[in-house]
C-alpha cells in the first residue's frame, strides 16, 4: 500500500512543481508585459493612451456603465447642473457692455434668485476696480441669497481677490458691515491640460500656493467645493478629495458626445451625436466634430432677461423653473474674442464654464468618487500591482493555450500560411522577373500608404484571397488542424476578454481608474502582445537549465 502511495505522492509533488513552474513562467511574462505597458520613452505613449480614452468616451460616453449622466428619469433624485451663459446681447439688454460690470452681476443675481437654485457660481474674475455702489449692491443681493440658503461661489485667482470688496465698507439695512468673504465662497477656476496635446481632460482638486504646500491647504476648485458643500459632511468630503500628495493632481473628466436635450430648444444643430467605432474602422474621423450643442443644460442670460428672446419657456415660466429650481447654477461668459475657451476631448472649443459644469456633473454622478489616474493614487505600487495581477492571469491563459496546442500536436500557427499555399503562390509570382514583381509590390504599397481608404479594402481582399487559396490547395487534414487551432485561439481570446471585462469593472467601478489606465489590457488579449514577449521565457528556461546544472555539479562534488 505504501508502495502504492509513494508514486501518488511523487505524482502530486510533480504536479505541484509543474503548477509552480507554470505560475512563475506566467508571472515572468506578465512582468515583462507590465513593463512594456508602462514604457513611456520620451512621453510618446501618453498621447496614444489619452486618445484611446477619448475614443472610449466618444463611443460609449452615453452608456450608463461608463458615464451615468443625470438622465431625465433621474432628475428628481440628483440635482442637475445648469449653465447660464452671459453674452454681449444679454449685456445690451441692460445697457451694459464687455467687460461685464459688477452692477450687472448684482442685477443678474437678483434675477437668478427668482429661480430658487441650489447654489450659484459666478465664473467671472471680479478683479477690476468697481464703483462702491455696484460692489455694495452685489454684496447686498448676495447676502440676501445667502440668507435664503443659496450658497454663492466666486471665481478668484487667490483668496486675497475678495479684499477689495471688504474695502468698500458696505453695510446692510441694519448697518452691519457686509464682507465679501461672508457673502461669497472663493473658489479656484484654474484649468489643467495634458501636456502632450493641451486638452483639458483632468480637473484639479485644489489650487495650492506652491508645489510644496500640504494637501488640503489650497483653494478648492469650483466644482469640488460646490459638491462638498452639498454633502452632509463638507469638511470630510473636502479632506478626502484634496488629500492627494501631488500638487497638480486632479480627476479625469468623463464626457458624453451627446448634447443635453434641453439645449435643443436653442441650438440650431442637432444635440444627438452618434459617433460609431465603425467610422474609425472605415478610416473616417473617429471623434465627433465640434458640436455646438454642449453636454450641460444651458440657458442664455438673454432668455432670462427678456421673454422676447425665448418666449417658449412657458406662460408661467414653467420650463424655466423646471430646469433651474434646485439646480447648481454656473454663470459663465461667452464673448467673442474673450478667449475663455476650453478644449475638451470631444469639443474643439467650449466656453470655460463648461469645464466646471462637467466636473460638477462628474462628481454628482460618481457620488463624489471620480476617476483618478494611477499616477495620483497612493499607494502607487498597489495600483500597478493590480495591473500585474490582471496581466498574470492573462499570461497564464496565453501559456495554457500554448501548452494545449503542443499537447494536441498542433504545431502550426492558425494564422500562418500553409506550405501548400506558399508552394502555390510562389511559382505564380516567379513567372515574372524579380525587378518587375518587386517594383509592382512597392508601387502597390505606395498606393496603399498614400490612400487610406484603399487600406481596408486591400487588407480585406488579401485575407479573402488567402483563405480561398488555402481552401483550394491545402490538404483537408491540415485545414481541420488549422480550424482546431483557430477554435482554441478564439476560446482563449474569449476567456481573456472575460477576465479583462471583470478587471475593467473592478478597476473602473471600485478602484476608480479612468479608461486610459485599463485600456492597455485589451491590447494583450486582442493583439496577442504576449507573443512578442515570449523570448523572455526561452531565456528563463536557459537560465533554469544552467542553474540546475550548477546545482547538480555541486551535489556530485
Return the residue of 111, 172, 470, 478 that touches other proteins, per CB under 8 A. Answer: 111
Interaction of residue 146 with other proteins, rule CB under 8 A? no
State which H helix or E strand residue 450 sits in. helix 434-450
Applying CB under 8 A, the span of 29-37, 56-64, 238-246, 312-320 interacting with other proteins comes to 312-320
DSSP letter assigned to residue 286? -
In whole angstroms, the minimum distance from the beta carbon of 165 to other proteins comes to 15
Closest approach of Cβ 258 to other proteins, in Å?
16
Residue 366 grid cell: 460618481
User: Residue 548 burial by CB count (10 A; 0-12/13-18/19+): exposed, middle or buried?
Assistant: exposed
Q: Is 365 in the site for other proteins (CB under 8 A)?
A: no
The b-or-e profile of 149-166 (16+ CB within 10 A means b, else e) is ebbbbbbbeeeebbeebb
Interface with other proteins, residue 224, by CB under 8 A: no
350 three-state secondary structure:
strand
326 lies in the site for other proteins, by CB under 8 A: no
- Indicate which single residue of 97, 159, 472, 509 sits in contact with other proteins (rule: CB under 8 A): 97
Cell match 480585406: residue? 460
Out of 46, 113, 368, 424, point to the residue binding other proteins (CB under 8 A). Answer: 113
> Are the CB atoms for 79 and 326 separated by under 8 Å?
yes
- SS3 (DSSP) at 341: strand
Cβ of residue 292: shortest distance to other proteins, in angstroms? 6
Check residue 303 for interaction with other proteins (CB under 8 A).
yes
Contact segment (CB under 8 A) with other proteins among 17-25, 37-45, 126-134, 482-490 equals 126-134
Nearest distance, CB of residue 381 and other proteins, angstroms: 35
* Candidate segments 123-131, 209-217, 479-487, 490-498, binder of other proteins by CB under 8 A: 123-131
| Residues from 441 through 500 that contact other proteins (CB under 8 A) | none
Q: How far is CA 184 from the centre of its chain?
A: 32
- Least distance between other proteins and beta carbon 324 (Å): 12
Of residues 164-223, those binding other proteins (CB under 8 A): 189-191
| Cell numbers describing residue 361 | 456633473
For the CB of residue 169, give the shortest distance to other proteins in the complex, in Å.
18
Quick count: other Cβ atoms within 10 Å of Cβ 125?
14
One of 304, 469, 503, 525 touching other proteins (CB under 8 A): 304
Q: Beta-strand (E) ranges in 410-488?
A: none
Pair 365, 69: CB distance under 8 Å: yes
For other proteins, which residue of 352, 485, 514, 515 counts as binding (CB under 8 A)?
352
What is the three-class DSSP state of 516?
A: helix
* Helix/strand number for the chain, H first, E second: 21, 14
Candidate list 32, 33, 70, 96; residue touching other proteins; CB under 8 A? 96
Could you check whether the bond before residue 379 is cis, i.e. omega within 30 degrees of 0?
Answer: yes
Q: Which of residues 283-302 bind other proteins (CB under 8 A)?
A: 290, 292, 294, 298, 300, 302
End-to-end Cα separation, the chain, in angstroms: 36
124 binds other proteins (CB under 8 A): yes
264 to 283, contacts with other proteins by CB under 8 A? 264-270
Q: Which of 98, 411, 84, 406 is nearest to 266 (CA)?
A: 84
Provide the 10 A C-beta neighbour count for residue 504: 19
Among 52, 107, 196, 400, binds other proteins (CB under 8 A): 107
Region from 7-15, 209-217, 306-314, 383-391 binding other proteins, contact rule CB under 8 A = 306-314
400 binds other proteins (CB under 8 A): no
281 neighbors 87 (Cβ within 8 angstroms): no
Query: In whole angstroms, how close is the CB of 211 to other proteins at the nearest point?
Result: 20
Binding to other proteins by residue 94, rule CB under 8 A? yes
Cα–Cα distance measured from residue 497 to residue 175, given in angstroms and rounded to the nearest whole number: 69
Tell me how far, at minimum, the Cβ of 73 lies from other proteins, in Å. Answer: 25
Amino acid at each position: 500500500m505504501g508502495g502504492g502511495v509513494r508514486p501518488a505522492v511523487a505524482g502530486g509533488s510533480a504536479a505541484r512543481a509543474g503548477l509552480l513552474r507554470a505560475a512563475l513562467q506566467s508571472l515572468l511574462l506578465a512582468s515583462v508585459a507590465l513593463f512594456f505597458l508602462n514604457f513611456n520613452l520620451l512621453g510618446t505613449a501618453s498621447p496614444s493612451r489619452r486618445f484611446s480614452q477619448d475614443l472610449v468616451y466618444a463611443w460609449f460616453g452615453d452608456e450608463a456603465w461608463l458615464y451615468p449622466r443625470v438622465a431625465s428619469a433621474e432628475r428628481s433624485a440628483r440635482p442637475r447642473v445648469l449653465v447660464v451663459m452671459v453674452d454681449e446681447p444679454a449685456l445690451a439688454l441692460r445697457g451694459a457692455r464687455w467687460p461685464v460690470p459688477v452692477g450687472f452681476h448684482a442685477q443678474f443675481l437678483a434675477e437668478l434668485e427668482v429661480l430658487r437654485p441650489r447654489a450659484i457660481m459666478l465664473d467671472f474674475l471680479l478683479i477690476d476696480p468697481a464703483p462702491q455702489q455696484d460692489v455694495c449692491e452685489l454684496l447686498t443681493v448676495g447676502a440676501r441669497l445667502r440668507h435664503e440658503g443659496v450658497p454663492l461661489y466666486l471665481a478668484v485667482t487667490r483668496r486675497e481677490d475678495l479684499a477689495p470688496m471688504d474695502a468698500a465698507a458696505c453695510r446692510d439695512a441694519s448697518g452691519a458691515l457686509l464682507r465679501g468673504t461672508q457673502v461669497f465662497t472663493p473658489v479656484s477656476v484654474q484649468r489643467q491640460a495634458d501636456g502632450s496635446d493641451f486638452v483639458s481632460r483632468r480637473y484639479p482638486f485644489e489650487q495650492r500656493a506652491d508645489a510644496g504646500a500640504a494637501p488640503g491647504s489650497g483653494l478648492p476648485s469650483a466644482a469640488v467645493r460646490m459638491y462638498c458643500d452639498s454633502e452632509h459632511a463638507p469638511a470630510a468630503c473636502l479632506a478626502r478629495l484634496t488629500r492627494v500628495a501631488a500638487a497638480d493632481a486632479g480627476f479625469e473628466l468623463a464626457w458624453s458626445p451627446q448634447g443635453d436635450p434641453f439645449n435643443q430648444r436653442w441650438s440650431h444643430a442637432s444635440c444627438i451625436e452618434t459617433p460609431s467605432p465603425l467610422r474609425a474602422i472605415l478610416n473616417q474621423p473617429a471623434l465627433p466634430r465640434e458640436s455646438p450643442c454642449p453636454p450641460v443644460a444651458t440657458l442664455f442670460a438673454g432668455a432670462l432677461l427678456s421673454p422676447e428672446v425665448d418666449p417658449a419657456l412657458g406662460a408661467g415660466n414653467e420650463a424655466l423653473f423646471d430646469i433651474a429650481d434646485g439646480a447648481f447654477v454656473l454663470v459663465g461668459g461667452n464673448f467673442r474674442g474673450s478667449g475663455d475657451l476650453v478644449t475638451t476631448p470631444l469639443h474643439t472649443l467650449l466656453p470655460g464654464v463648461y469645464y466646471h459644469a462637467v466636473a460638477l456633473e462628474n462628481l454628482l454622478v460618481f457620488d463624489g468618487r471620480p476617476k483618478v489616474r494611477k499616477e495620483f493614487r497612493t499607494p502607487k505600487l498597489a495600483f500597478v500591482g493590480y495591473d500585474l495581477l490582471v496581466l498574470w492571469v492573462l499570461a497564464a491563459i496565453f501559456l495554457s493555450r500554448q501548452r494545449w496546442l503542443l499537447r494536441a500536436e498542433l504545431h502550426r500557427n492558425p494564422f500562418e500560411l500553409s506550405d501548400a499555399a506558399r508552394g502555390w503562390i510562389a511559382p505564380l509570382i516567379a513567372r515574372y522577373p524579380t525587378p518587375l514583381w518587386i517594383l509592382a509590390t512597392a508601387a502597390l504599397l505606395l498606393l496603399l500608404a498614400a490612400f487610406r481608404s484603399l487600406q481596408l479594402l486591400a487588407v480585406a481582399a488579401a485575407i479573402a484571397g488567402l483563405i480561398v487559396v488555402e481552401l483550394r490547395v491545402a490538404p483537408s487534414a491540415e485545414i481541420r488542424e488549422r480550424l482546431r487551432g483557430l477554435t482554441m485561439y478564439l476560446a482563449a481570446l474569449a476567456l481573456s476578454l472575460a477576465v479583462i471585462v471583470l478587471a475593467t469593472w473592478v478597476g473602473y467601478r471600485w478602484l476608480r481608474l479612468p479608461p486610459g489606465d485599463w485600456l492597455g489590457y485589451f491590447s494583450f488579449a486582442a493583439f496577442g502582445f504576449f507573443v512578442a514577449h515570449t523570448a523572455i521565457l526561452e531565456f528563463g528556461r536557459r537560465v533554469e537549465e544552467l542553474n540546475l546544472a550548477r546545482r547538480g555539479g555541486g551535489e556530485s562534488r
